[in-house]
Structure 1
């Protein structure tokens, strides 16, 4: 009877242990909570990321990693299948990055949302929604470190080429010349000290000279105004001279006509003078006409004067 009790206790303990292990396995697999599946698409390495690694949204645990595999269409792309608790705000603008758990070297998925696309990302078991996986901070530092090392090596080579023996000799000579030039500059500064001390008096004299220049400038302004007035008057005189020249040319052109008119007038005056003289000598000519002229020698009716006989 006692052996049966022990056997029953051992069997009961074994059953409870199996149930506990089964619950732990279900808990580890995350099957106790309804979840939505998403695919993280990464083109960079996912070092330290394992199955069942935590998935966090801004630091809050929202799921676990279910599977990690390469894409069948592009071997450079890594697809990470994650399960996220239902009701988790996964939007189209959500992105993923790897974060690290202390110094263990293990990593987890950190989700974040930049707010650029607030629409909810649809997902179903047959076509899970895809989330971009960006390089982590350490990846960025590593790539930047490689570029920095490459640039540092290139700078070291250029510096080594710059600091060869010939350039060092030239640099030493340049420093020596600079030292000599500095000494000469100090001597020149010492020589300039008296001139600098005399500058205040020179400045005062310059101010007085400027005060004298102001009235001179005013006189020059008035003189300039007067000269401008005289120039305007000369312009008017020049215009008048031009008009006079044009008038003289017109008179010169009219002189021949005037001369002909005067000749005609002179001939008319002589003719009128003769007519008046005839009228004065023979007034009856106005009524009876002009008497014929006496016959001349050899003409009929010519009578010689008595003295000629």
Structure 2
């Protein structure tokens, strides 16, 4: 008896078996329930060697997601754009940062999230509408960068030392040392002369200080003398003012006398014969005195020093004897 095989039924059975196995595996992988993820973007600024798609994302050591894509940022080639899916139940705060961390000795790396001290959730999106987790370079990257900078600095120092210790500079330094040695020898040979010069310079400084003190004393004496001279000028001006007032009073008295001479003929006759000549002489003397005082005031205003030293003498003529300078002398007319 011939057996008939239904290939259609066999195919359906195989497909059902495959789907059943796939469902079982998926159920085992996901823990029997569907997880919901939130996409985040991380922009790395250093090398991401060892990080691959499907690499784990850890939050303080706990697996909370995986890497979905890694590519260079088109807007900024100096950054690496990393797209990750993180369990939506994991709280991501505004101060959470991502850091690349090596995983064992395999050469692979994972993303480790740290922070979370803030109570503000990360909800602000960038211009592209992405939730961006800030990136912090790893300790190894910072050490590598520091070592690179240190090596560059050591290289610069080495180059400068080579330039400093060149044959030309060494020869110049040798000549300088020889010149210093020669100078030291010369100074040692003339140390007595140098000591004498130092002593002489010290004496000169002392004399200069004493001369400065003497000059200060002389200046103070000159200031006192000038003050006294000013006082003498003021006194002389007061005297001249009093003399002018006296002359004015005498002039007023003479006018009164002339008025009284008109009171009577007898008085006028006696006045003309006896008093008038006397008054006339007196008035003449007063006029001469007034002119002399005026001349004296003008000369003092023009040359106040003649109060102390007198007027300059007239050079003597041939056969005349030299006389001492004298002060201004007022001689009334007879």
TM-score normalised according to structure 1 size: 0.52
* Residue aligning to 1:60: 61
* Residue aligning to 1:190: none
Q: Which runs of 5+ in 2 are unaligned?
A: 1-17, 189-219, 272-334
State the structure with bigger RCO (CA 8 A, min sep 6), 1 or 2: 1
TM-score normalised according to structure 2 size: 0.48
In 1, distance between residues paired with 2:136 and 2:42? Answer: 10
Q: Deviations over 1:240-271 (max 9, x none)?
A: 5443333334445x278347527626845894
Q: Deviations over 1:188-245 (max 9, x none)?
A: xxxxxxxxxxxxxxxxxxxxxxxxxxxxxxxxxxxx9xxx9x9999977765544333
* CA RMSD after TM alignment: 4.9
**How many residues were matched structurally?**
221
**Is the 1:55–1:63 Cα contact (8 Å) retained in structure 2?**
yes
Q: Which runs of 5+ in 1 are unaligned?
A: 1-13, 187-223, 278-309
In 2, distance between residues paired with 1:271 and 1:45? Answer: 143
Report the alpha carbon displacement of residue 56 of structure 1 after superposing the two structures with TM: 2.7
* Residue aligning to 1:245: 240
**Is the 1:37–1:123 Cα contact (8 Å) retained in structure 2?**
no
In 2, distance between residues paired with 1:89 and 1:185? Answer: 83
* Residue aligning to 1:167: 169
**Is the 1:41–1:80 Cα contact (8 Å) retained in structure 2?**
yes
Q: Does the residue aligned with 2:170 lie in a helix, a strand or coil?
A: helix
Superposition pairs for residues 135-284 of structure 1, below 5 Å? 135-175=137-177, 239-252=234-247, 254=248, 257-258=251-252, 260-261=254-255, 264=258, 267-268=261-262, 271-273=265-267
Q: Deviations over 1:147-170 (max 9, x none)?
A: 333333233222212211121123
- Say which is worse superposed, 74-83 or 91-100, in terms of deviation: 74-83
Q: Deviations over 1:13-64 (max 9, x none)?
A: x99987774455446xx9754433212122433111123333233x231413
- Kindly tell me: are residues 235 and 274 of structure 1, through their superposed partners in 2, closer, same or farther at Cα, counting changes over 3 Å? closer
Q: Does the residue aligned with 2:134 lie in a helix, a strand or coil?
A: strand
Q: Deviations over 1:104-146 (max 9, x none)?
A: 322111223386x74211399x965221223323333333333
**Is the 1:68–1:78 Cα contact (8 Å) retained in structure 2?**
no
